[in-house]
Structure 1
């Protein structure tokens, strides 16, 4: 039994009560203080100070300081008036027991709420960080894509302009050749007409006509040959990204391609691994029985592997998560045990008579993991939930009472 502290002192104002409790040489880290609106406990084994307060106080505005061998508790009154006594004057043990249990439940609910708030805050921070990172990655991808689109549009416009210039040049050359041919034909026709209508002698006409034809042939011989038309073949360096190599961020693109290849290899490896299984090894029930046999022989690692493979095949069987949580408890993987037990409880919905035993086992396994992590308030909640499902289980009753004793500081091992 703890030793009750009687050599405390207290003073008060209209709004605050000050209580000084001597610590009798105990270290600060070994002092446990619990306060609610109607109950105060200062526990430093083997000593215990508890006060059943005369009037209710505001626990949220109350404070406690430990140091120099004394614990000073400042309790903020709910109503501004002077108390006649620090504690209630009744000696009714049942009433005090009721106040103590009510205070313990209130304190446990407060701890649980703080724990949930902390987890929700951490989850919100992680979610916010992930959203920011995804937003930055999207902006970077959009920027790279915009650069690529601009470069592609620029190249397309330059190619279209070059093709237009080539077409216009070809048309101009064709018109020049056609005009040249028409001029030559007109000159020949005019020459022939002059000689046929002229009055000069035949010899002179023939000589002049011969000289004219020779000059015409020499002039045609001096004309350049027509240009040969054709197509210009343009080739580009093969690349995964459409951006020109000189415009690209090569290290970033190569890193992205490497990550994509690793992700595809991981998926392909996982698919090949499942394809390589025998027909019976693709049956979750067969794997569960195999895991149960491993657990019975004490081979917990093999049991975890069997349950994990079964979960990969079917993630909707709560017994797989609950049994794997039992293996993690044996292997002292306490956080994994909590995670698997919680997953099993999520799948065991709605709560009906058919799954009552499975829900009780999951609560006990998660509660045991919490207690081994010294999170006794959370562990007590799971054991109480299991006890509601199986209220006549004597082992559960004993374990639940032992956790309550540890929280209250009356367990013999903590003294």
Structure 2
């Protein structure tokens, strides 16, 4: 049975009540304090202090400090006045005391629930504000890019019009020159005809000269083109990047010799294993395809197609984190970024974006879809999926 503390002290003025409860050698970290508008309680086993106040106090502005071997309450009176006693006359009634204690506990519980709800509401508002700010920043960045594109478009249009004017002017000059040459040729022809007519009258003095003139010999010109691995013309090509890509592909395609007598020659070839995994995938046997791709990766870890194809299997099997890892590895190997691997990079971005969305990481998913749209700007399905993700993000923000 706890021991009731009776050697407490108190003091007051018109607005404040000071109550000091001795701790009797008990450490401060073992003291339990509870207070409300009409009830005080200090528990530090085996001692307990309870007080039913004579008048209500403002619990919001009142304080309790533990130190120097005592608990000091500083209670703000709701109605300024002098109290005749600290405890109410009803404190002797155990039923009243029990009722006041229960009311104080329920009031404190209600206040705690309200504070928790308020904190959760504030957190939701902060998250909503953060998402709105992120979307505003993204919208501002998109607007900046659109303005930059529009500026470049206007500049290109002006340069094109200027070039057209120059070409038109050159064409007019060329036309005038051709007309002048034609006119001069016609005048020379008319003059020659006059000479021929005069020569016929005097005798054909040009026959011997005409017989000595030889005709121009026919011939042909051979044109050779620089051999190109890629179909694009060399003036539009990124030659160093393409050569680096070809070198990496050649190194990745090299078959690694493995001393394992249990494996056939085909089972040691990563390219054969890739085709085998593709056949399993088309048949819907995704787990078998994952095993085949994984074995091929152990043989050669530099082929991006192995990681990209295995990510498609993981996506079908709803192994989203593994899908994200394989897509990221494929994108690392699909470097340097050249037109020849743009389609593979686009597939990896779309699969990783889909996995992010399945994990409800819509902002990361939207970023991958927008990167894929840069590689395939005319993809209607890609654009529709990106718009749907934006609607999901905006809907979650508004809710």
TM-score by length of structure 2 reads: 0.49
Of the two structures, which has the highest relative contact order with CA contacts closer than 8 Å and spacing of 6 or more? 1
TM-score by length of structure 1 reads: 0.47
